[in-house]
Amino acid sequence: MEYFKLSNGIQIPALGFGTWKVKGDDCVNAVKAAIEVGYRHIDTAWVYKNEKEVGQAIRESGIPRSDFFITTKCWNDHRGYEATMKAFQVSCENLGTDYLDLYLLHWPKPLDAESWRAMEELYETGKIKAIGVSNYHQHHLEDLKKTARILPMVDQIEFSPRLTQEPLMAYLKDEGIQMEAWSPLMQGQIFDIDVLKELAVKYNKSIAQIVLRWNIDKGVVVLPKSVTPSRIKENFEVFDFKLSSEDIARINALNQNIRTGADPDNFDF
């Protein structure tokens, strides 16, 4: 595993296991498979409705809680100071833990300033090791900075070869905010891109491995998801090679500003 250092000194695994849309026994089994091949960074959210299954898989692994980096997220209708405090407690109970490694505001919404105040308090008491946001553009972060005492340590955004978000990436780097990537494989759309096919042959790796390595080489924490044990294992096997600067540039050039998910400036949930 490779690690990045957050602004507060916390080490975050560069590769995490995503659990969006994975429910019930499928979730338990997928997380167990991920843990078996070496994942220790697990990413979930209250709205995924699988926090209990993630917690079950971690407990049943027999590996100490302290070995894991667990992320979950505060949902959009849990905003405001008291609502965020309650949401944090519910997520901890679901996961079977008394602290979180990373807690994120899931999407930019009204009352985020009050939610952030709650998260700052939870961070200062040690109940959360790091706090951050998800799906925030630069202007959302600038709004939050007007009242925040502590700057977000992470911004988890959609990021892929077709959506490189270079201006936001540069801003986050300047601010010392770690970028994380969701939907890095574009829900399978990457497999149709000729440049990625060429690079897979060149490096003797899968297209998915090329894209995951590209993320890490660019300093981005990446969160692939799969329920297939062989793909879970394959996605983890990205630490025995690096891409050349020329090939990183070739992938960067694939950007078309194409999203597979909602735009943080235009969503209705």
Please report where in the chains the tokens 């790091």 appear, as a residue: 130
8 Å CB contact between 238 and 209: yes
Q: Catalytic residue numbers?
A: 48
- Averages of pLDDT over runs of 10 residues in the chain (269 residues) are 98 98 98 98 98 98 98 98 98 98 98 98 98 98 98 98 98 98 96 98 98 98 97 98 98 97 97
Q: Is 206 left (phi over 0), alpha (psi -120 to 50) or beta?
A: beta
Q: Rounded to 5, what percent of the chain is helix, strand, coil?
A: 45, 15, 40
Helix axes 81-95, 112-124, angle to 10 degrees: 50
Rounded to 5 degrees, what are φ and ψ at 73?
A: -135, 145
Q: What single-letter amino acid sits at 113?
A: A
Helices marked H in 22-102 — which ranges?
24-37, 51-61, 81-95
* Residue 196, number of CB atoms within 10 A of its CB: 20
Q: What single-letter amino acid sits at 67?
A: D
Q: pTM to 2 decimals?
A: 0.97
CATH class in words for 3-252: alpha beta
